[in-house]
Structure 1
Amino acid sequence: MEAKLAGQVDLAGFRSEVRQLLAHQVPPEEVQWQLEAPADLYIDAQSPQASRPRNVARAATAIVPASFTRLCEFVVLHRDPQRFSLLYRLLWRLVHEPGLRNDPVDGDMLQAQHMAHAVRRDIHKMKANLRLRAMRDPDGDELQAGCYEPAHHVVEAVAPWFAKRVPARRWAIFTPDRSVRCEEGRLLFGPGVPPSELPGHEGSQGEWLACYERVFAAHDRPAATPA
């Protein structure tokens, strides 16, 4: 059975899918997780992320500990392609094996905790090490931009943190998997930039502006009016 998710970090989709899978008693070994290309989208940086996995499955809310839903928030950001299979297997086991929550050496749980730790470390490193470069676009408006290569899929998770702390009205961050820009507190997520095309810290202002144009200019052009 296929379970489709809209992108690498579709927590809301995962929550919806596992709710249905549990309701129909579909065992983990019969599920194949399919990740589709994520859509570019705007979100308000001050709003809670819609993808946060609250109540991973209604059928299991009385059984699954709250710590597991928090664990999901980090594990789904890991680069391991089997992470959704692991989480659903753990959720299934928590529902059908009540003693699992008290097992400190369970292999699946230890693996998930290790993955969550790696993601938390990656988020911390991105916050600490990313540097934005100030420049002016052709219209003379200020723009700050930077590039980073995170180990995991953490851009969507860390972008609201930057939106609160970067004083510039407009900024952009490019990574190989996903890019993000901020306009007065509003975030737009777009496609990533291959490492060979990232300007790098020594890149010229022209290279940075060209990268910004390639990734985000389509969203700034007015839609064509039908003839």
Structure 2
Amino acid sequence: MSKSHMEKIKCPKCSHESEMLVWETMDTKTDPQIKDMIRSGEVFAWRCPHCDNKSLIFYPTLYHQVKEKYLLCYIPGNPSSAVEYMKTINENNESGYDFNEEYTKRVVSDINQLREKLMILDEGLDDRILEIMKVFAIAELQKNFPDLSVMEIYFNKEEDGSHSFAVKFDNNEWGRTDVDKKSYDQVAESFKVPLAVNDEYLIDTEWALSVIEKEI
């Protein structure tokens, strides 16, 4: 079940204090509305009742999408703490669920990573395959644009339903590169041995690079 509490927030604009609902854990079975709330950012939205100032307050939380057996731990700026938390998720577990090996367990430390993981989940794709694809995409971009460096890269769903990587370069410009099913399937086949095991929590480009170095 979900767990939440009220926390006092000091408004950065008028300095008045007011309360905000903070979700420690989010369970989509007991609170189905939370599925849309986390995707829209509503769970992190706060409004000062005194001056109407609106802010986003990011806090640690555990998101549990029950039907898909998916756990996502978000601890802003601290991925190592998120990993340690996930390692002991079944210890002193009072949730009523058994978070065994059938679960996909992921950790993120950045709100954009959180949004990306949920988008990948909604699209029914494997984030590990996409992270490997990112490494190849970055290499190709660096080859084509040697004067630019890739600073950020995120999976994205376009308005027409197609998939792409949104890419931020070191000149603060954004670009995109297509993510097609053929390439996705090729990566899935080429890396089927390491992908057969799904026991890692922190899945990012560093993880993908380590997998590629072992396989190639």
* TM-score range relative to shorter protein: under 0.3
* TM-score (ref. length: structure 1): 0.24
Higher relative contact order structure (alpha carbons within 8 Å, sequence separation ≥ 6): 1
Higher helix share: 1
